Structure 1
Amino acid sequence: MSTEKQILVLGGTVFLSRTIAEHAVARGHQVTVASRGATGAPPEGAEFVTLDRATGDGLDALRGRAFDAVFDVARIPAHIGPVLDALADDAGHWSFVSTISVYKHFDILSEELHEPTAADSTDAALEAYGPSKVVCEQLVRERLGDKAFITRPGLIVGPGDRNDRLGYWPLRFAEGGEVLAPGPRERPVQWIDVDDYADFLLDAADTGEHGTVDAIGAPVEFGAFLDQVGEALVEHGVLSAPPELTWVSQEFLLEQGVNPWSGPDSLGMWVPTPDYDGFQTRPTGPAAAAGFRASDLADTVKRWWHANAEAPHLKAGLSRQKEGEVLAAWHDKPTAEGLAELDAERRFAVPQAETPAYDG
């Protein structure tokens, strides 16, 4: 158990930032949450300070205060500089949550980054997300030096994910019947559990980790991922047996209007190959060297189910009507054609990438 620290979480009311604040309170730290307060309430036991980074409101309430560790998840470059000016000099450690979307290429494993946007950019468009995070990283490094720890997560899953990317699968399995699965089974998928991530960041603040690492668990095949989700629900007493899966080729899914990743008419955590092959096989060694430890998927699923068990319903994803239509169309395809598509997809294999040295 670490000694009591003064912790500041910029955000602290939604998903990852809220989980960081909750875990910090549970560890006995004095936690301050600073946000607009428009997206939720801070966790019990945390001090709340109103902060609107777009206008600067609230910075005076924080200015001059010393924090042992600061955690920031900002995505707008213009929101970084004023907070650094107000807080960086009196911060013992600064943890900035970036993203693997800073990498320019998703189809291959590459370290090349997007060209950064301007440091004063206020562009919130999705297309600017990666380039904006690149310049946010630069601003934090330049100001904090070896007090800065920058992590680049991939897909973050767990309780509080409003997009139901992981949650689609346990809820769909619990409804029973034939389940549409995105072929091929060998497609890689990576994620990081939100609770594991919060603990990793708090531990890194304790040990003074610095540098830049991808924050992601080891890739697994999609078939193994779905098998483990089903097994976890059986162990948890939600299912009596694993679900019946029907694997459908990605070409057919796209033709039928099924969307990747998240959102309406999507299959959670599914992205096409080869477009995202590099995105789903990021190296895990540097984060492990910095202290990251991943939960078993079964534990992640059980925590997610427990958090949602009182009112289990899908907030996003493929509707049962749409799924039924796609399955019916798939079963109506000529058998030889369907098998040929799956055989073509199975030529894809998870690349074994060399893990770069940890720079923390």
Structure 2
Amino acid sequence: MKILVLGGTAWLSREVASTFIGRGHEVTCVARGSSVPDGARLVNADRDAEDALRPVLGERWDAVVDVARQPGHVRRAVRDLEDAASSYVFVSTVNVYASHHDVGADEEAPLLEPLAADSFTDPELYGSAKVACEHAVLDSFGADRSLIARAGLIGGPGDHTHRTTYWPWRFAHPARKNTVLVPDAPELPTAVIDVRDLAEWLVRSAERRFTGVFNATGPVVSFDEQLAAAREAADSTAEAVRAPEQWLRDHDVVEWAGARSLPLWLADRSWYGFSSRSNSRASAAGLALRPLVQTLRDGLAAQMDAASGDLTSGLTDDEERALLDELTHS
């Protein structure tokens, strides 16, 4: 197959390009970056430009794979490639859903309103922007030539957000001897899909010309099970020290991601459906998932030597020690 990857230099899109190449396909990557997998052709382009795809418009493509988040990028791409590509695979997100209250909701759940603008900078608009991207793909390629993969939280080697690697890293590097601070949220649903599993499924779906809308999410496990897998991945004997959720909020600990956070933690029960979407449709279409502990172990191996200050999500060693000291002496 002749494949056009819009991207190919960064995490998921690079894994997709590499997987296509490994399966014997001809791959061209359109990106601003400079490094693509061995065997891929790189076409440098800035998708902010109106004619960004002009260098590849004279060719015929069996499939296009796009991971863009800016609606303008997708609107221009589908406009230019509608007659040049047989199918369009778009990686969307579970953030497109209007509510995250219901555990186990499927692809028929209501969506946010699509973003009218071509671009956005406010992270709160991410879901609406992806809805707009989905609409653009379906409007141009139709349901019979498009696949929409609504990805959940992606993990594994290369997770630059450190949302999925923080916990195995912290169990491997306790800030205070043999203890790790965790939120007291044992039943919080979590789900991580390995970047390699997602890429493999996207590639095989393109090969088989699968169409439709799918939640491409990892296995749903409780927060306690997530922590147990992280501890096993780190081969750690450290024990979790639970902090009440309100206590953490009162001490300015951030939920989900970012500086001074406890990654994956969500205190608001109305968000418990976010990481517990049904992936049964994707599973029936061949999505195969490796054990969570393997994803966490491999992600940890890729950043084992990082210092706490190098992580973009989680607590630094100093923050962890200070919080543990206050919690255990209060």
Residue 59 of structure 2 aligns with which residue? Answer: 65
**Does the CA-based 8 Å contact 1:189-1:221 persist in structure 2?**
yes
1:213 aligns with 2:210: no
Percent sequence identity is: 37
Residue 266 of structure 1 aligns with which residue? Answer: 261
**Does the CA-based 8 Å contact 1:32-1:49 persist in structure 2?**
yes
Structure-to-structure mapping, 1:234-245, within 5 angstroms = 234=235, 241-245=236-240
Residue 227 of structure 1 aligns with which residue? Answer: 228
CA distance in 1 between counterparts of 2:153 and 2:267 reads 15
Identify the match of residue 82 of structure 2 among 80, 88, 109.
88
Question: How many residues of Structure 1 are paired with residues of Structure 2 in the alignment?
Answer: 319
Deviations 1:316-348 (A, max 9, x none): 221111111111221133xxxxxxxxxxxxxxx
Moved more, 170-179 or 148-157: 170-179
**Does the CA-based 8 Å contact 2:255-2:266 persist in structure 1?**
yes
CA displacement at 1:57 relative to structure 2: 4.5
**Does the CA-based 8 Å contact 1:14-1:160 persist in structure 2?**
no
Letter matched to residue 124 of structure 1: T
Residue 188 of structure 1 aligns with which residue? Answer: 189
1:296 aligns with 2:291: yes
Identify the match of residue 106 of structure 1 among 100, 112, 118.
100
Letter matched to residue 42 of structure 1: V
Deviations 1:263-304 (A, max 9, x none): 111112222231411112111211101211111012212321
The alignment's TM-score, normalised by the length of structure 1, stands at: 0.84
Identify the match of residue 249 of structure 1 among 244, 254, 258.
244
Residue 47 of structure 1 aligns with which residue? Answer: 41
CA displacement at 1:34 relative to structure 2: 0.4
The alignment's TM-score, normalised by the length of structure 2, stands at: 0.92
**Does the CA-based 8 Å contact 2:229-2:296 persist in structure 1?**
no
CA distance in 2 between counterparts of 1:228 and 1:307 reads 17
Deviations 1:63-100 (A, max 9, x none): 12111111101111111122112212221221101111
Moved more, 255-264 or 224-233: 224-233
Letter matched to residue 248 of structure 1: A
Residue 158 of structure 2 aligns with which residue? Answer: 160
CA distance in 1 between counterparts of 2:267 and 2:152 reads 16
CA displacement at 1:184 relative to structure 2: 2.0
CA distance in 2 between counterparts of 1:182 and 1:303 reads 24
Aligned-residue Cα RMSD (Å) equals: 1.6
**Does the CA-based 8 Å contact 1:65-1:87 persist in structure 2?**
no
Residue 147 of structure 1 aligns with which residue? Answer: 145
Letter matched to residue 190 of structure 2: V
> Which blocks of at least 5 consecutive residues in structure 1 are unaligned?
235-240, 334-360
Letter matched to residue 66 of structure 2: D
CA displacement at 1:308 relative to structure 2: 2.8
1:117 aligns with 2:115: yes
For residue 73 of structure 2, give the secondary structure of its aligned residue in structure 1.
helix
For residue 90 of structure 1, give the secondary structure of its aligned residue in structure 2.
coil
> Which blocks of at least 5 consecutive residues in structure 2 are unaligned?
none
Deviations 1:199-248 (A, max 9, x none): 010011111111111111221111111112222332xxxxxx43211111
Residue 135 of structure 1 aligns with which residue? Answer: 132
Residue 200 of structure 1 aligns with which residue? Answer: 201
